[in-house]
Structure 1
Amino acid sequence: MLPGSPIGVFDSGIGGLTVFRSIVEQLPGYDYVYLGDNGRAPYGNRSFNTIHQYTWECVQWMFKQGCPLVILACNTASAKALRTIQQQDMPKANADKRVLGVIRPTAEVIGSYTKTKQIGVLGTKGTVQSGSYLLEIEHFAPELKVYQQACPLWVPLIENGEYNKPGADYYVQLYLDQLMQQSPDIDTILLACTHYPLLQEKIKAHLPAHINVVAQGDIVATSLVDYLQRHPEMEQRLTKTGHRDFYTTIDDTPDFDHHASQFFGNEVKSEFVDVREGC
């Protein structure tokens, strides 16, 4: 990695690359480090303590790479680890750094997509059980009625490259049916996992045309642009040579690169790293 102060983008696997792609599109000149914790993915069914431990190890690793700003491009990590990291871990030794998530910026704007004021949230078991979207949406748009549905088999399908095959349709329909049975008036569905945009076309095909299916990439990227405008002291610290580095905690980097390139939309060449060293 070149010396500098890049923006760090973290995910438990490869799903965060859908957010990273949108960030790069809106802020192409900045330096970036992407880290996928594929060696310990998926996070969705793990405990709060485990997810916090794994996420904090990865965040600390990114700090050591020179990142003053880290984006948790992972709903599960944002739901189960971000608050503890911000309130307990960061003040101890990293007061000059910032860690941001994907839930708050999404909750701020999701109300603008719905006419019926009824929203469905599709996420991992961990995200749904945390109740983070219920709390955040209640804060920003208390008039909305929010229904949640966990989709525990979607991430494994996507991580194993099965998302675009006919067998995935059964599991897409299964969870959509379970969500829509909660309320037939849902007119907006939030994909509250950064993996799920890979299934977006299948999801739309199994829904009535009037239902909005909302992915988070552009929302999070736009929020980051706004954050940097409001915090020039951080923006001025970030280096801008257009350099991008990709890292994964799985030693099969060619496999990661193959799948990651599909998510990112451009060729990815990664390096293996053990984030636990020195933690």
Structure 2
Amino acid sequence: MQPIGIFDSGIGGLTVFRSIAEQLPGYDYIYLGDNSRAPYGNRSFNTIHQYTWECVQWLFKQGCPLIILACNTASAKALRNIQQLDMKGLDSSKRVLGVIRPTAEVIGNYSTTKEIGVLGTTGTVQSESYLMEIQKFFPELEVYQQACPLWVPLVESGEYEKPGSDYFIKEYLDEIMAKSANIDTLLLACTHYPLLMDKIKAHLPANVNVIAQGDIVAKSLVDYLQRHPELEQKLTKEGTRKFYTTTDDTSEFNHHASRFFSAPVTSEFVSVTEFGCK
């Protein structure tokens, strides 16, 4: 088996996995959620890099020649080092891709006013990765950022559906919208945030677009595989989907993951440190 690996610090990446599986249904997949160490958003650069690289190595050991970091924080703070440093000396055909670049390539197409807001974790915002990547493709865009450090814990804990979550959702939206009256597009730069979509829209003017990443990343992956047939031909296509989590409470993971994936999820526990990842 040579499946596509999907990694996230928790369960948010399942929103991206769902879109990928819809557009590329015949492929084999392995999903790994590092739930025991989530959330990554407020951790240091070195810690995020260490955790992400451990999980990437574990997915390589499961036979994945292609891994998608379905996590904005990991894409912002770990992907570059993994691609340019950690993978030196490994099989040169292996690939690790992130979610920031494919999003930055198209986000400007959604805005009429050319002013957008980026909502993300503290780590993603502080990295300024979106500012740098969007500038490459849409230098005319004015980009405002807002860290939303409480949103991932709300989602991971399942508290986001309760009325009390509205206060924290509205608080960050008010802050980003106060930065400019011309913002007409908000990017959910965290794969957890789509589960807050209905509540986010309820606190915004009707003319503001709210963009999730799932379909964007999935379309980008379809294009990537078409442009790299040597990699695409390696991937096995039996339609299998396996789910792993680093928390030993798999029942709790399964419960929340099924909502993100919009289908029943049955996972297995794994400890990535058992594989000697450094």
CA distance in 2, matches of 1:208, 1:104: 28
Counterpart of 1:164 in structure 2 is: 161
| Aligned with residue 131 of structure 1, among 128, 131, 151 | 128
- Please state how far the C-alpha of 1:91 moved relative to its aligned partner: 1.9
Cα deviation code 1:177-216 (max 9, x no counterpart): 1101111110000000000000011000100000000000
Q: Does 1:179 align with 2:187?
A: no
- Gaps in structure 1 of 5+ consecutive residues: none
| Aligned with residue 251 of structure 2, among 250, 254, 258 | 254
| Aligned with residue 192 of structure 2, among 184, 190, 195 | 195
- Please state how far the C-alpha of 1:96 moved relative to its aligned partner: 1.8
Percent identity among equivalent residues? 77
CA distance in 2, matches of 1:195, 1:205: 18
CA distance in 2, matches of 1:63, 1:93: 10
Superposition pairs for residues 46-85 of structure 1, below 5 Å? 46-85=43-82
1:262 partner amino acid? R
Contact 2:118 2:187 in 1 (8 A): yes
- Please state how far the C-alpha of 1:70 moved relative to its aligned partner: 0.1
2:208 partner amino acid? I
- Please state how far the C-alpha of 1:268 moved relative to its aligned partner: 0.3
User: How many residue pairs align between the two structures?
Assistant: 276
TM-score by length of 2: 0.99
Counterpart of 2:23 in structure 1 is: 26
Cα deviation code 1:210-254 (max 9, x no counterpart): 000000000000000000000000000000000010000000000
- Please state how far the C-alpha of 1:90 moved relative to its aligned partner: 1.0
Counterpart of 1:112 in structure 2 is: 109
CA distance in 1, matches of 2:175, 2:205: 15
CA distance in 2, matches of 1:239, 1:124: 34
- Please state how far the C-alpha of 1:95 moved relative to its aligned partner: 1.8
SS of residue in 1 equivalent to 2:217: helix
Counterpart of 1:233 in structure 2 is: 230
Counterpart of 1:141 in structure 2 is: 138
- Please state how far the C-alpha of 1:92 moved relative to its aligned partner: 2.3
1:86 partner amino acid? Q
| Aligned with residue 38 of structure 2, among 30, 37, 41 | 41
SS of residue in 2 equivalent to 1:238: coil
SS of residue in 1 equivalent to 2:107: helix
Counterpart of 1:220 in structure 2 is: 217
Contact 2:93 2:231 in 1 (8 A): no
CA distance in 1, matches of 2:236, 2:253: 27
Counterpart of 2:4 in structure 1 is: 7
TM-score by length of 1: 0.98
SS of residue in 2 equivalent to 1:93: coil
Counterpart of 2:265 in structure 1 is: 268
- Please state how far the C-alpha of 1:50 moved relative to its aligned partner: 0.3
CA distance in 1, matches of 2:93, 2:232: 13
2:218 partner amino acid? A
Q: Does 1:207 align with 2:204?
A: yes
Deviates more, 1:191-200 or 1:162-171: 162-171
CA distance in 1, matches of 2:251, 2:157: 14
The runs of at least 4 aligned residues of structure 1 exceeding 6 Å deviation read: none
SS of residue in 1 equivalent to 2:161: coil
| Aligned with residue 151 of structure 1, among 132, 145, 148 | 148
